[in-house]
A and B are shown apart, each in its own frame.
Chain A
């Protein structure tokens, strides 16, 4: 996928000025969050479940090589071919070779974020194949020629009117604002593609090591058709997605849909194991899994290790006030929101996404909902630290942090700076006691005033008050509370 994370600030300006987008964002804003909250009421101890999820994922990552090799062996035992790709480009090439060897012309896809990472659709199209996205959201975006803006609801930024206009343009059908009719229309369009396809490409929500299975979790049924109707199925997924056992899967599946969409369970949970049995009616004759690294193994054992626990539920973006205001496209790559602010620089390189770890108030709304307890704000802080120590922040920012730290460590100078700083600001404020512009701080004053300091600094006022009280004390014979206060001063 084309990388636009470097232009984050420009993307943000565009997104904030896009009235249609803002209206779509505010219409759905918090929708998933509300549904999640309602779903949790019905669960006995969701916090315990989060602990369980976090520990299952953490333990897998401790021995990832073991579990991956176990998965490979079990998958191979059941007739699945397992491929390893170090990069997205390598994954595309492997898939292309599989397709060519099998004489594939028509490909149907269910949602796969890893294939968005690698830009698979372009590669297959260039090789002369037709690729049809069959997840409704992805299908809409394929018609619109746009990238996804959310990891579980890729077209969340589009209104029904926009979808209807797209359908009118591409299907030649009359406009409608009835969502079931739009869905029906998409089904009608997609059905022939499913039936004619030679190859189905899916992602993989989880890989089950003990059975060599790929699990996919969907709501539309398209995933089932993609993985069972065509004669060749290829699942493309990240190496971190492995779970040791089906028992672990059952725990994670209690967390994932509730965290994501507030569903107790999704409409479809498919556990795909091996190839079509002899004499069976359906299932692929060839089954492949491409295990994609694409930067993930670099995170293992490092200070961003915990980000690999992610099960891609999207709860962090559903609860992120920054995401809710700018939408997913602003982040400029596959993964938006808080997890994207970590994964994008982690996978692509920090210099490709300098603004992303800064794009958070560290409000921790993401951290408290993450089903596998990824400490997202801490990880963003880790990346901020790397930016600073690697000299990737602007010189004036680095200088002001050092200056500020020096002052804060020298109380006398700090008091002096605060005294004169507040005097200056008060002098600059108008009769309304507000600062409408501040040199160097136009990031603030473009949209907000700055209330002027109230008066002398607290410590100056406190010192004067105490001095005044001390003058009175000597003529008193008893010891007053204020004298005690003065005496305690160091």
Chain B
């Protein structure tokens, strides 16, 4: 199965390890991964700021880069959510809209792809840590990403998943919201940190880097240098290095 990996602009710039982790996981799940190097961004930052041309023009660029693959995967529910919205932007061009409908039907968030659509099931390895999972909004509400990352974490030997209070409530990132209304965003992130820390977890885990930067940024400012903030792909890929031990 030929997969086009949409790395996402945030992962490209801020945390490439998530991109490499995604490649390892997809290959471990029997995929052949290609990374078109003309990809940039899904357009969401502009589109959500009210710039419709961002969505339209970058939607066309995405079509150009990814139409030829069997499936397209991104380590972000937020970007895949935006991509799933492309067809609504082309109501006046039915032919293009039809092509985009075909395209978006094969665009998946990473954990959803690994659990429900990969050629072979991923067998995570072993780690030793407690984690708490934050549900990112677009993934959760638009794509119904809820059980998939938890399933994979529970498949990982030595990982203990502890649910935090209000895991489904927004962390306050919201793209440019986190800058325009930073004081509200900070308070929302603060509550998210507090709820996660109440679980006593070693790592706060999520599936969208925007949220993770927001949560980590607040966590460090609160004076916590220890609690890790990780993308679920990073944890799963790290686990692959340690094969599971046979249960005695």
Contacts and interface: CB of A to CB of B under 8 A. Distances in A.
Contact of B217 (A16, A385, A450, A456): A450
A367 B142 CA distance: 10
A408 interface: yes
A411 B183 contact: no
Contact of B37 (A360, A407, A463): A463
B174 A405 contact: no
Contact of B34 (A358, A446, A489): A489
Interface stretch (B94-102, B115-123, B218-226): B218-226
Nearest to B12: A458
A457 B183 contact: no
A451 B172 contact: no
Given A409-B57, A444-B182, A450-B213, A384 B141 contact: no
B86 interface: no
B141 A363 contact: yes
Nearest to B172: A361
Contacts of A418: 9, 12-13
Contacts of A359: 177, 181, 184
B179 A362 contact: no
A476 interface: no
A301 interface: no
Contacts of A456: 16
B7 interface: yes
Interface string A346-376: 0000000001001111111101100000000
Contacts of B48: 362, 381, 384
Interface in B21-65: 27, 32-41, 43, 45-54, 57-58, 61
A448 B40 contact: no
Nearest to B168: A365
B50 A387 contact: yes
Nearest to A453: B14
A355 B189 CA distance: 20
B112 interface: no
B170 interface: yes
Interface stretch (A128-136, A260-268, A480-488): A480-488
B181 A358 contact: yes
B49 A325 contact: no
- Chain B residues touching A, majority SS: helix
A481 B46 contact: no
B12 A485 contact: no
Contacts of A449: 216-217, 220-221
A467 to B, nearest CB: 12
Contacts of B33: 485
A431 to B, nearest CB: 12
Interface in B163-197: 166, 168-170, 172-191
A405 B9 CA distance: 13
A388 B138 contact: no
Contact of A453 (B13, B20, B187): B13
A454 interface: yes
A409 B56 CA distance: 11
A458 B20 contact: yes
A338 to B, nearest CB: 12
Interface string B62-83: 0000000000000000000000
Contacts of A411: 37-40
B214 interface: yes
A326 B54 contact: no
A422 to B, nearest CB: 5
Contacts of A363: 137, 141, 170, 174
A462 interface: yes
Residue among A326, A363, A459, A488 facing the most chain B CB atoms (10 A cut-off): A363
Interface of B: 2, 7, 9, 11-17, 19-20, 27, 32-41, 43, 45-54, 57-58, 61, 137-138, 141-142, 166, 168-170, 172-191, 213-214, 216-218, 220-221, 225
Report the 3 A-B pairs with minimum CB-CB distance, sorted nearest first. Answer: A361-B174, A447-B186, A384-B50
26 contacts: A30-B166, A355-B181, A359-B177, A359-B184, A361-B178, A362-B177, A381-B47, A385-B52, A388-B49, A388-B50, A405-B46, A407-B40, A408-B58, A408-B61, A432-B220, A447-B183, A447-B187, A447-B221, A449-B217, A451-B216, A453-B14, A455-B16, A457-B13, A458-B11, A458-B12, A458-B16
